[in-house]
Amino acid sequence: MSIKIYTVDAFTDKLFRGNTCAVCIFPEWPDDSILQNIARQNLFSETAFIVPRKNANPELRWFAVSQEVDFCGYGTLSAGYVYLTHFAPKQSNVTFVTRRYGLLPVTRNDNFYQIEVPVKLPLEHIFNEDVYAALGKVSPETMVNSARGDLLIVYPKESDLRSISPNFLRLMATGYYGYILTSPGESADYSYRYFSPRMTNVWEDPVNGASQSVLAPFWAERLRKTSLHGQAASQRGGDVYCEYNGGNIVKIGGNVSPYLSGELTL
């Protein structure tokens, strides 16, 4: 059986930046072990899988190297690009059906793609000594639990953010789903990094989209802005553009750059 596969760089308008995602198109869902093995073989942060439906919304799932994940922001953006470019080029939007996250709309405006996701508001302020030590004891401004299960860690300067070299084994032992590190940006509204070693074996996600459901409401309140530009302070870098007006939805957008297309032989 031959399966279409596309590899793209999401949240960038230039190749070799952003977050690389493979998107595979199946006529029907195979056994989960096949999906997991493909994701493991690809070795990207996530691989997205689409099953188009006749007279119904296409279905979407995401697999990391180690397991299926509930939601992937850059994987959704990448899937929207592939579906609207190769399967529905006359459409400007598509709504994916997901198993764990409900309906996910993606819209296209030229080469700018935008997804809509529920807000995950920051919750209580804490200080976790173990996380502080695992991140190299660079002093944060604050730490905040989030409704997403991540720990949001705010630093005063972007240079603090970029200087952090975590001990990932110690960080993994602290038990959070992920770690969102952020600061005011030098050339954007905010900069950020994202680590998720315990749940998805992703030491550092080059450009994480899902964390904007936490970052957008946090920085919108702090900066008193509704349109925000975030930059990933990872080695690859990338740009996210968020819109948040104080409701239950945040819009997360960015460019997508195609890298290759081909077929898998299964």
Alpha carbon 98 to its chain's center: 16
Do residues 215 and 208 make contact, with C-beta atoms less than 8 angstroms apart? Answer: no
Q: How far is CA 85 from CA 24, 49, 91, 254, in A?
A: 14, 16, 9, 15
Strand intervals (E) in the chain: 2-10, 19-25, 47-53, 56-63, 68-69, 93-98, 103-109, 112-118, 122-126, 142-146, 151-154, 179-184, 190-196, 202-205, 227-232, 238-243, 249-265
Q: Which residue in 46, 129, 186, 204 is the catalytic one?
A: 46
Pair of tokens at residue 26: 């199946």
In degrees rounded to 5, what are phi and psi of residue 69?
Answer: -115, 155
The verdict on whether 46 is a catalytic residue reads yes
Q: Which residues are catalytic?
A: 46
